[in-house]
Structure 1
């Protein structure tokens, strides 16, 4: 049964949706959008998860199932009677220290967790399984003008376990799709949005820029970007219009880093550093950055993977999402400004929060 338009959902025709990863920025906003349309929303969360966001909204209750995607036996009850599973849980650390325990946790969560959830959904009779991946799983435009969903992945030379877990997770989802479940993979760019209470990587970037702690970037750096409202809409539309087994790029455009900084400047009301370094020196810097990152007590802002990715060209074609899902895109810089203003208003820029 597809998710119905709001007018029909309010008449009593609704679906039961399970959100895995509902405590993150996208998950929270998706839950609220589905509830507003009259759908029955359940979430899967660990017992240690912070559920205060949902507890404060008693007028829009959700059903909470305590479980862990790494523990298959904890998933059976959560998928019972569910029409659509939205799987957006996962670790989003582009780079992690080269430590066996950290690497194991990443694969256990991002690959085996997805496998366990997809298997539970298939065996539980769930009709649709929508997995949230990353636009980086589509590759870069290093040897082509633009990247689409059919492009051959060309980032194998970047030593990132995170990227590999996303590729492997997509393979798991498609494997269960081949067994009869309707699956879709959504590949969002960097998401900028408000209500970023536990700042996401994009929120942390805006905070660092605002505080003047991004003194330089590599010339020509592009950040594939999308508004929070658009990725939420993409998830809702995928449950209605997503074609079986298809993958969708959810990206407005790749925004030059200089434009991101200028957008933050506009909100800040004062100039910020915009120094650039030539991309050609990146290979020389990488050994030093790698050594520092692996020995620092706290993960540094500039990591080896950050350098590798920001020196690659990224241009994505979102025509398929527009055509199949009917998705329209908000100008990315509007989302950047709104996110920055929200972080300022809520005290994150001056250190009162976060």
Structure 2
């Protein structure tokens, strides 16, 4: 089976391409002319230049494909990047999966996010049936992914055999653009002076890639599958990363103080004409609990979750090997060795 993978040069997409190739599929990677192709080196994939917002290039890339895995997406917390994020995460789904419906593909997978469910101020564990409050939270990343899912459901009602997967916070090697795994790098480099309490589910990109391919090959059309991992409070994450990296964890501060600091940071960045490193939307999202259950994916897809420390170690090792993290502590030198 020939499968088109969008976002194939990125974190999740490159591992999906690798997993597909290892299972004997022919892989065509949709990449932009400006995409970094480091993650595709050594992979037997065909490259097709295009953009998920360019319907003509997507239609060309889909020719001869029986399947498509749409992983391309944007994660951003800065107000200045919200427009592009909504376009890619919402309109991009309409373009890619709409073209897939027109092309008559036999199988399709959309990479969504557990953020579609929203979050809660207190610990809770959500699953595919949990009602979403994402629209009420007013966080652009959450609503952009929600709009993407809504577009996919409309196309499913028109006959597209699409499965939707919702990864949690993805760690592991290969985060070329420092998206979700960049959190671990930032902690190891002492780039976060403070944090607010909340909770997230942390999964491994290699497990998530297998979940995508199993959804494509074994999942039921029209179904949603949560690809979660280890549900941790932020304080627990800070402690575990800090211990492995041999650095002191940042102090926890009250939510109100963090929100005030973010508001000030946004104002100062606007005055200077720069992107803020701390934003109100990031603080609001970090303060939520987005814990999930992957029981459905485990039962129907055979989804497996590796030990959290294995993912952390491999994340740190990859950043060290890439020259993005200097092994300045005994713990990091031991990982590098």
- TM-score if structure 1 supplies the norm length? 0.85
- Match of 1:217, SS state, is coil
**Cα distance, 1:157–1:178 mapped onto 2, change above 3 Å:** closer
Match of residue 28 from structure 1: 14
Match of residue 105 from structure 1: 84
- The 2-side partners of 1:73 and 1:287 are apart by 41
- Match of 1:50, SS state, is coil
Q: 1:273 aligns with which of 244, 249, 254?
A: 249
Q: 1:79 aligns with which of 45, 56, 62?
A: 62
What is the alpha-carbon root mean square deviation over aligned residues? 2.3
Q: 1:154 aligns with which of 110, 122, 133?
A: 133
TM-superposed deviation, 1:86: 0.3
CA contact (8 A) 1:158 1:305 kept: no
- The 1-side partners of 2:61 and 2:194 are apart by 47
TM-superposed deviation, 1:307: 0.8
**Cα distance, 1:299–1:350 mapped onto 2, change above 3 Å:** farther
Match of residue 144 from structure 2: 165
- The 1-side partners of 2:63 and 2:79 are apart by 38
- The 2-side partners of 1:17 and 1:85 are apart by 5
Match of residue 212 from structure 1: 190
Is 1:64 matched with 2:52? no
CA contact (8 A) 2:124 2:289 kept: no
Q: Which moved more, 1:303-312 or 1:329-338?
A: 329-338
Match of residue 231 from structure 1: 208
- The 2-side partners of 1:280 and 1:53 are apart by 40
What per-residue deviation string (whole Å, max 9, x for no partner) do you get for residues 286-337 of structure 1?
Answer: 5434434544554343211111011122221211111121111112332122
Q: Give unmatched runs, 5+ long, in structure 1.
A: 1-14
CA contact (8 A) 2:10 2:39 kept: no
Match of residue 3 from structure 2: 17
- Match of 2:163, SS state, is strand
What per-residue deviation string (whole Å, max 9, x for no partner) do you get for residues 217-238 of structure 1?
Answer: 12x3223210111101101110
Match of residue 334 from structure 2: none
TM-superposed deviation, 1:258: 2.8
CA contact (8 A) 2:262 2:280 kept: yes
Q: Which moved more, 1:141-150 or 1:78-87?
A: 141-150
TM-superposed deviation, 1:206: 1.8
Match of residue 132 from structure 1: 111
Is 1:88 matched with 2:71? yes
- TM-score if structure 2 supplies the norm length? 0.89
- The structure with the greater share of residues assigned to helix is 2
Is 1:291 matched with 2:267? yes
- The 1-side partners of 2:259 and 2:38 are apart by 45
Match of residue 283 from structure 2: 307
TM-superposed deviation, 1:80: 1.9
Q: 1:201 aligns with which of 165, 179, 182?
A: 179
TM-superposed deviation, 1:250: 0.9
Match of residue 223 from structure 2: 246
- Match of 2:291, SS state, is coil
CA contact (8 A) 2:263 2:279 kept: no
- Match of 2:180, SS state, is helix
CA contact (8 A) 2:118 2:142 kept: no
TM-superposed deviation, 1:27: 1.3
